[in-house]
Structure 1
Amino acid sequence: MIILLFFVLHWFLSLFSQTFFLHRYASHKMFKMNGFWEKFFYTITFLSQGSSFLNPRAYAILHRMHHAFSDTEKDPHSPHFVKDVWGMMIQTKNIYLNYAKYNEEPEEQFRDKYPSWPIIDRIGDSWVTRLVFISFYIWFYVTFATAWWMFLLLPVHFLMGPLHGAIVNWCGHKYGYSNHDNNDHSKNSLPLDFLMMGELFQNNHHKKPNSPNFASKWFEFDPTYPLMKVMHWLHIIRIRKV
C-alpha cells in the first residue's frame, strides 16, 4: 500500500510540475508570479521530477517550437515522422540536450521570457544528482515493497518527466477527437486526460495556446485549472486575461 501511494504521489506531483510550471508558466506565461514563488515552484519541479528533471528553458524552447511547427517535420516531437514512441523520445532528447547544454541557440521567436535558475539547472542535470534520486527510489522500494511486481514500477520513477511528455505528445496527436480544425493532428484524449491533469486536451490547447483552461466543452474537465484559480485567489499567481 505504501508503494502504491508513493507511486501515485510521485506521478501526480511530477505531472503537476510539468503542466503548471514547465508548460503553462515557462512555455506560455499564462500567469505571473513573483521571484519567491518562481523559485519555490522551480524547486518543487526539481524535487518532484528527481532523476528526470527537465530544464525549464530547454523545455520552453521545444514546446514553443512544437506549437509553431505542429506535426510538421520541424516539430521536435511529432509522432507522425517517427517509427514508434521510443524513436520520438530519442529524437526529443537529442534536440532538448542541444538547448539544455547551449550547444545550439534557438530561433529568435523562441528565446527569452522563460525562468532560469542556473545552479538548480546544473545540479538537476548532473549524473551524480540523477543517481542519488535513483538510489533513493530503489532504497524506498527495497524497504517498503511487499511484492515482486512492485519493482516493475521503478523505471517509471527513473524517467517520470520524459514519460509524461511522451504520453502527451504521442497520444495527444494520434488518439481521440477534435473540437477544432488546427491544421495538425492534435486530439483530445478522453478519458485518459484525467490521469494527465489536462495535458491531453491537445486539440483545445493548440486552438487556444494561451488559455489557462485546457477544457472547452461542458463534458471536459481540466484538473489543473481549478488549482490555478485557487492560487490566483490566494495571490500566489496572477492569471493573465486571455
Structure 2
Amino acid sequence: MSASIASIIDHSLLHPTLTDEDLGHGCAVAETYCVASVCVKPCDVARAAEFLAESDVAVGTVVGFPHGAHTTDTKVFEARQACVQGATELDMVVNVGRVLGQDWAYVQADIQAVTEVAHEMKALVKVIFENDFLPHDVYKIRLCEICRSLGVDFVKTSTGFGFVKQPGGHYAYEGATESDIRLMLENCGPDMRVKAAGGIRDYAAALHLRDLGVARIGATATATIVAEEQAALRDISSGTCNAFDQFQAIARGSPEQGTHDMATDLSTASELELVDDLVETGNEAVVPVYQEAVEAEAQEAAAEAKKPSVWRHGVDWPVFAWIAFLHVGALAAPFFFTWKAVGLFFGLWWLTGGIGICLGYHRLLTHGSFQTHPFMRRLIAVCGCLAGEGSPLMWVATHRKHHAFSDQEGDPHTPRDGGWWSHVLWLFPGNEEGGQDKLFSRYAPDLLKDPFMPFLHRTFLLWHWGLGFALFLTGWYFWNAYTGWSFVFWGIFLRLVVGLHATWLVNSATHMWGYRNYETSDDSRNLWWVAALTFGEGWHNNHHAFQRLARNGHRWWEFDPTFLTIRVMQAVGLAWKVVDRIPQFREKVARG
C-alpha cells in the first residue's frame, strides 16, 4: 500500500497575511498529518524550526521570492541565513526576466551560487521556474538541463503567486499543469526530482500528480487533501465510493449540492468551519477525520499554552559555580593592587573582550561581517574563549537564536521577561538532555564543520586555568609572589567579571533604555555608556536594524572602536569582504 499523500506534501505557509498564530496553527497541521515539510516565509524560519523541533517535518523557505529578481548575492545571503536559522529545504525562484532574455550564463551562475551554499549547509534546493511566465517549452527544457548539470535536487513548477494578466483584464494562473509536469519529468534525469505547486486543492489532483511521478507537492489545502484521501480509503474498504464522490461534489460546489461552496475555498477555511459545513450538507462520513485533526491541534495548543517552567531541568550548577567563583575572586582584587596589574587588566580586557568577543565571536563568527584567514579566525576565537563568556559554539548559537526571536517568545534573554532575567538569570536554568547539541546543530552548523570550535567548547575551562597559571608565574618570576597574585586577581577574576557584566548590559540595558535610529520589530536601543564599555556594541538598535554590518556606529558621533580595528586589519591584509556600507536612514523600512 502506498504511503499517505501527506508524505510528499510541502505544506505552504507563504501568504503575506499569515500571523504568528497562523504559523503555529499551520505547523500543528503539518505535524498532525506528518507532511514532508512546511514552506514558510523567511522571517518565520526560526520560529517554525522551534515549533517543529521534535517532529520529522522539515522546515523549508523561499529564496528570491516571488519573482526571482533579487541579486545573486542577496539570494546567497537569504539561503545562508535561512539555513542558519533552521531551514533544510530552499525553494529558489529563477530570475524570470533573465530566462526570457535567454541570458543563460547569468541564470546558471545565479542557480549555482545558491545551490553551492545550500549544499554546503546540508539543505535541499528546489528551483522554481514559474511556468506561467514562460511561453515556450524550450525555456523549461533549458532550465531543466542547467539544474541537472548543477546537481539541483528538485525543479518546481510555480510559486503559487505567478498570476498572468488575461485579455479581459483579470489575472489568473494555471500552476501545475499535466503537460508541464510531463515535460519536466522527461528532462530532469535520474537524480533530479519534480515538485508540483500551484492550484492543487484536492486529493484527486494530488493523487494524479503522484501517479505521474512527482516527488513533492506544494499545497495550502493539506487538511482537505488528507481528509479526502482518508474518506476515499474508508469507502473503498467498505465497498462504496459514494461518500467520497459526495465530498468531491461538495468541495467543488456542484449543482447536486446546491450553491454551497464550503466557505468559498477549502484551502482558506479552518478545520472547525469545515466540520460545520460538512454536517450542514449531510456528509457526516468525513466529519470524524476533521474532528480528529481538531482534537490533535487542540492538544498541541494546550501543550504550548502551558509553557513549562524554564527551571524544569533544574539549575545549571556548573555555570552558576563558574560565575559565582569569578565574583568571589574579583572581591580580592583591591587587596592585591599594583599598577602593573591595572595595565594588564585593560590590555587583556581589550584583547579578550574587544577582539575576542566584539570583533570575533560577534561580528566575524556570528554575522560574517568580514572574512579573514583560517588561522586568524581560530586565534581570535581563542581570545573570545578567554573572555569567559562560553565557547564560540555556545555564544554564536545563543546570539543567533536571540536575533531569530528578538524580544519575542523564544528569545533567550529578553527584558520583557524581567531586567535581571535578561542580564544574568537566563544563564542558570538547566538544559534538557541533548539540548546543547540541538542548539549547536540548528544555529551554528557552520562552526561545527571546523573541528577547532568543538575542541574549544570541550576545553573551555582549561584555557582559563592555563592563562591564570601563566600570569602568576610571570609576575612571580619577574617581580614577586604578590605581583603574581595581583596579575591573577586583576587579569583573570576582575577582568572576567567586568567583561561579563559589560556584555550582559547589551542584553539588558540596550533593550530597555536609549534612543532608536531605526524602527525595528524588537526593543533594541542605542546607549552611549554601554557602547563605551563594550567597544561599540552598545549601538544596539543600529545593529538589530542591519545585523550583518561590520560597523555599529551609524552617526558621526557613534564611536565604534571594534570597526576601526577591522579597518586596520583590512588595511594590512588581515580582513576582506568587509560589509560596511550603511544604507541611508530612509532606506530602512519600518517593521514595528
**TM-score, with structure 1 as normaliser:** 0.79
Q: CA deviation at 1:40?
A: 2.1
Number of the residue aligned with 2:538? 200
* Of 409, 413, 433, the match for 1:73: 409
SS at match of 1:114: helix
Other structure's SS at 2:380 match = helix
1:36 counterpart = 2:385: no
Deviation, 1:224, is 1.0
SS in 1 for 2:523: coil
SS class of match (2:394): helix
Q: Quick one: structure 1 residues 163 and 137, their matched pair in 2 at CA, closer, same or farther if it must change by over 3 Å?
A: farther
Structure with bigger gyration radius? 2
Are 1:106 and 2:439 matched, yes or no? yes
1:23 aligns with 2:362: yes
Identify the range of structure 1 (198-207 vs 7-16) with the bigger mean alpha-carbon deviation. 7-16
Deviations 1:77-128 (A, max 9, x none): 112203525x742313547x779x86441397624223741333222245xx
Is 1:144 the equivalent of 2:477? no
Question: Is 1:14 the counterpart of 2:352 in the alignment?
Answer: yes
5+ long unaligned stretches in structure 1: none
Measure, in 1, the Cα distance between the counterparts of 2:505 and 2:531.
Answer: 10
Q: Whole-Å Cα distance in 2 between the matches of residues 167 and 58 of structure 1? A: 18
Cα distance per residue 1:43-73 (max 9 Å; x no partner): 3333x42xx2521112111111111111123
Unmatched segments (≥5 aa) in structure 2: 1-338, 582-592
In structure 1, C-alpha distance between the alignment counterparts of 2:490 and 2:572, rounded to whole Å: 40
Give CA deviations for 1:135-183 in whole Å, capped at 9, x if unaligned: 66778696239x9xxx699743344553332121112111211111112
Could you tell me how far apart the structure 2 residues matched to 1:113 and 1:67 are?
17
1:239 shift after superposition: 3.0
Match of 2:177 in 1: none
What is residue 54 of structure 1 aligned with on the other side?
390
Select the structure with the greater relative contact order (CA < 8 A; seq sep ≥ 6): 1
CA distance in structure 2 between the partners assigned to 1:206 and 1:108 by the alignment: 23
Change (3 A) 1:215 1:179: same
TM-score under structure 2 normalisation? 0.35
Q: How does 1:155-170 map to 2 (within 5 A)?
A: 155-159=493-497, 162-170=500-508
Counterparts in 2 of 1:198 and 1:58: CA distance versus 1, 3 Å: same
Aligned residues: 232
Name the Cα RMSD after superposition: 3.3
Q: Which moved more, 1:54-63 or 1:160-169?
A: 160-169
Higher strand share: 2
Match of 1:179 among 492, 509, 517: 517
Match among 392, 400, 425 for residue 64 of structure 1: 400
What CA distance in whole angstroms lies between the structure 2 residues aligned with 1:228 and 1:161? 20
* Residues 191 and 161 (structure 1), Cα distance of their counterparts in 2 relative to 1, 3 Å cut: closer
Query: Are residue 239 (structure 1) and residue 574 (structure 2) matched?
Result: no
> Which of 530, 553, 573 in structure 2 is aligned with 1:215?
553
**1:82 maps onto 2:418 in alignment:** yes
User: Is 1:92 aligned to 2:435, yes or no?
Assistant: no
The aligned counterpart of 1:119 is 455
